[in-house]
Amino acid sequence: MFLPLLRLFQCFLLFGFCSSSSISYENLNIAIVSGYGKMPRNVQIELQRSLIWFKNAISVRKFEKSITSTELLNVYPKFSWINIQTAEKAQDLHVNSLEFAKLLEMSNFVILINRDIQKCQIDSELLANAKPLTPEGLNRPKFAIMNVCQNFQFSNFFDLFRHEILHALGFGLFIPFEDSIPNRYYNWWTPKGTQNVSQIFMDFSKRAKRVVSSHFNCSTIFGVEADGFKKNHLNEYIFGNELMTPNLESGQNYFSEISAAILEETYFGEKPWYKVNRKYTIEESQKYWYGKNFGCNFIKFSCWKFLETAGNKLTFPFCSINNERYCLITPTYKIRLSLKNCQQTFNHQTQITENGLKAFPGATFSNSIHRFCPIDKNFINIPKNHRIELC
């Protein structure tokens, strides 16, 4: 038997099974520990907001013993003075101080801030990335590392930190003991012909599969599609503005029941590591409109097949003449959806999508993220407070 495999660490160690007879749960109390000081004030505020959200939204399996300064120094040894941010406050403390030890003792998950300048420079669009440190036995992670790039112009750090902290807890980063869902190979239809492409599916997603089936109104799906072979994220093209897709919107990104189910199913042993307070998923799931009732042609075949068979239904953000009956309404403006907003031109010659689709000749629509499908430009940076209604 082997330790849970982290996709990014690939470690193999022997362990014995742990007893789960006295497992209890408590609110997730996160401590963010940084040897680099505070981030800009607006970013630090959003970080604290996210910690408050996690404290209310997620419960975790309780450890028998509290986290200690000695444990932290074993994994984060090079700093003497540290900024520690909790849901309540942020302060600079010496690692050997009694107050620092007390704050760690009150926390049940610690995220260590790293500054990987080289990684940020290699990928200029990278905002942050996080991963848990390999847990002991069948226990949940106790520590994680988060790298935050110095790109502070992004306008939605609350969702960025929610996204990365879910990764820190293990979302999309563990390999299950049981076999994964086999890849599916199928023909992707376009106006220029068909191509053979693949679907790769998320692990820890048995319950989430039922949620996806209901959301898209397709009872014959094969699994919850991942965004590539690493299976770190939900598929961007399929799930759009769900919180756990790889590209966050500057507007609202929804923590839906899809991601909640995957998080709860991510564990080893007899009892779950995490429990989600459904008060915090119901509202966002209800607002999560992307792909709602799009049906099997969208989720199993192609956007073009979906648009061809959509009838009179709203297809936004994918362009169709049906959408011209609807208006996008925000607090400051109201506009009618129009096919004119779909005229985008990109250089597709070297682009290939995550499912193996190559840009077909003459494609003048969206880029590889949306599989070269016709996307309404209003979907890009759509405001948080919006709705789509008949005009």
DSSP characters for 85-154? E-SS-EEEEETTSHHHHHHHHH-SEEEEEE--HHHHHHSTT--EEEEEPPPSTTPPPSEEEEEE-S-TT-
**Domains and their CATH numbers in the chain:** 5-175 (3.10.170), 184-287 (no CATH), 302-390 (no CATH)
Strands 109-114 and 143-148 come out as parallel
Distances in Å between the Cα of 235 and the Cα atoms of 67, 243, 271, 281, 290 are: 35, 11, 28, 19, 12
**Is the omega angle on the peptide bond into residue 182 within 30 degrees of 0, that is, cis?**
no
CA 318-217-227 angle, 5° bins: 60
Q: Which amino acid is it at 304?
A: W
pLDDT band at residue 11 using 50, 70 and 90 as cut-offs: very low
Question: Which residues, 6 or more positions from 166, have their beta carbon under 8 angstroms from its beta carbon?
Answer: 243, 244, 259, 263
Q: What is the Cα–Cα distance from 313 to 322, expressed in whole angstroms?
A: 7
Q: What is the Cα–Cα distance from 214 to 221, expressed in whole angstroms?
A: 10
CB atoms within 10 A of CB 63: 13
CA atoms within 13 A on the CB side of 284: 20
DSSP-H helix ranges across 196-247? 206-216, 236-239
CB neighbour class for 320 (10 Å; exposed up to 12, middle 13-18, buried from 19): buried
Q: Average pLDDT, stretch 331-353?
A: 78
pLDDT at residue 362, as a whole number: 62
pLDDT band at residue 136 using 50, 70 and 90 as cut-offs: confident
For the residues of 304-326, what is the DSSP string, one character each?
Answer: HHHHHT-TTS--TTB--GGGGGE
Q: What is the Cα–Cα distance from 140 to 276, expressed in whole angstroms?
A: 15
Beta strand residue intervals within the chain, DSSP E: 5-6, 25-27, 30-34, 58-61, 81-85, 90-94, 109-114, 128-132, 143-148, 174-175, 184-190, 193-199, 274-276, 326-329, 334-336, 387-390
Percent of the chain with pLDDT over 90: 72
Pick the more confident residue, 60 or 154: 60
Q: Is 55 helix (H, G, I), strand (E, B) or coil?
A: helix
pLDDT at residue 17, as a whole number: 34
Q: Which of 1-10, 297-306, 329-338 has the lowest mean pLDDT?
A: 1-10
C-alpha distance across the termini of the chain, in Å:
60
Q: What is the Cα–Cα distance from 100 to 105, expressed in whole angstroms?
A: 9
Q: Is 357 helix (H, G, I), strand (E, B) or coil?
A: coil
Q: Which amino acid is it at 299?
A: I
Q: What is the Cα–Cα distance from 182 to 138, expressed in whole angstroms?
A: 26
Catalytic residues: 164
Q: Per residue in 89-111, pLDDT tens?
A: 999 999 999 999 999 999 999 99
pLDDT at residue 384, as a whole number: 81
pLDDT at residue 68, as a whole number: 94
Q: Is the pLDDT of residue 189 over 90?
A: no
Q: Per residue in 230-289, pLDDT tens?
A: 999 999 999 999 999 999 988 889 999 999 999 999 999 999 999 999 999 999 999 999
CA 154-159-164 angle, 5° bins: 100
Q: What is the Cα–Cα distance from 110 to 84, expressed in whole angstroms?
A: 10
Is 348 annotated to bind a ligand? Reply is: no
Cα 123 → chain centroid:
18
Is 233 annotated to bind a ligand? Reply is: yes
Strands 193-199 and 274-276 come out as unpaired
Distances in Å between the Cα of 125 and the Cα atoms of 44, 121, 300 are: 20, 9, 30
Is 163 annotated to bind a ligand? Reply is: yes
Average pLDDT of every residue of the chain: 89
pTM (global) more than 0.85:
yes
- Which helix (DSSP H) or strand (DSSP E) does residue 167 occupy? helix 157-169
Angle between helices 41-57 and 279-287 (to 10 degrees): 110
